[in-house]
Structure 1
Amino acid sequence: MNLDEADLKLLAALQRDSTRTAQELGEALNMSASQAGRRRQRLEAEGYIAGYRARLMPEKVGLSVEAFIQIVMATHTEQNARDFVRLTQTRAEIVGAWTLTGEADYLLRVYCRDLAALNDLVQQVLLPHPAVSRVQSQIVMERVKTDAPLPV
């Protein structure tokens, strides 16, 4: 990691609001707009910034159910893992997937329009998958802290 204090402040500012212009960033960080713009471009080019996206409100776009689903694999073969990862990448309602230590092998974060859609995902997609042995889901009742910026 080759970041100085100004880089860290710039990254923190961009995590709070990535739509800020170089002028706004420069003012906030006490540097010129051109310095802020060059630093931003360098951080993007060096891979510190993976991309930009709008954070949507799930309820506003018709996704009223958020859930976390733990997956236990039937067998731990390379092919099963590849097939299951491919499944996670092709289903739009699966917005995050992680491999885990402990009892479950994978943790999925999903958004569905309603409980029926979540049930379909579990019953018609995940459970029948040959790589899957067990599925356990937890429905989110309330988001008390949304995805926060990284502590840079």
Structure 2
Amino acid sequence: MPNTDLDAIDRKILRRLQQNGRLTNQQLCEDVGLSPSPCLRRVRALEERGVISGYVALVEPETVGLPVNAFVRIRLDQQDDHHLATFENAVAEFPEVMDCYLMTGEADYQLRVLVPSLAAFEDFLRKRLTRIAGVAQVTTSFALRPIVNRTALPVQD
């Protein structure tokens, strides 16, 4: 359910925190034109309403030994609730899976997988992913380099 009751200041707060989640309340209130107490109240309200769901540090995969970025499309042999749940529960346990989406079209799921090498990807594919009950087809594409990689949502005024 969309939060359509965000005003211009809420949106400005969201844009600034997406740019730098480590801003102090003092820095944030100066950037958005509020005094410290109302600014902090607004941030807490955005957190309580689930608009802000958390704060993270963004880490460059290559710097921690994860240079291989694979996009994996999965078809299941059946798309009933049991098979979908089995697949979803299994991939949720794999730390290599950075994103998993239920899809329309030719694939049932699209995964983004980060691994240290092609050999590690082969091991992941053969020993774990294809052993999930119901996996019928796997198609993989490897990213050569990122062109656009955003984490900030385009929050408009």
TM-score range (shorter-chain normalised) is: over 0.9
Task: Name which of 90, 93, 109 aligns with 2:93.
Answer: 90
**Equivalent-residue separation in structure 2 for 1:68 and 1:19 (angstroms):** 31
User: So what's the TM-score if we normalise by structure 2?
Assistant: 0.93
Q: How does 1:36-115 map to 2 (within 5 A)?
A: 36-115=39-118
1:22-70 deviation per Cα after TM superposition (whole angstroms, max 9, x unaligned): 1000111111122211110000001100111110010111111011100
**Equivalent-residue separation in structure 2 for 1:147 and 1:125 (angstroms):** 29
Q: Which amino acid aligns with 1:54?
A: A
Q: Which amino acid aligns with 2:116?
A: R
CA deviation after TM superposition for structure 1 residue 148, in Å: 3.4
Aligned-pair Cα RMSD in Å: 0.9
**Equivalent-residue separation in structure 2 for 1:83 and 1:128 (angstroms):** 11
Q: Which amino acid aligns with 2:125?
A: V
Q: Tell me the number of residue pairs that the alignment of Structure 1 and Structure 2 aligns.
A: 152
Secondary structure class of the residue paired with 1:92: coil
Task: Name which of 124, 128, 132 aligns with 1:129.
Answer: 132
- Runs of at least 4 residues off by over 4 Å: none
**Equivalent-residue separation in structure 2 for 1:128 and 1:88 (angstroms):** 11
User: So what's the TM-score if we normalise by structure 1?
Assistant: 0.96
CA deviation after TM superposition for structure 1 residue 3, in Å: 0.7
Over the matched positions of the two proteins, sequence identity in percent amounts to 34
CA deviation after TM superposition for structure 1 residue 147, in Å: 2.4
Secondary structure class of the residue paired with 1:3: coil
Secondary structure class of the residue paired with 1:72: strand
Q: What's 2:20 paired with?
A: 17
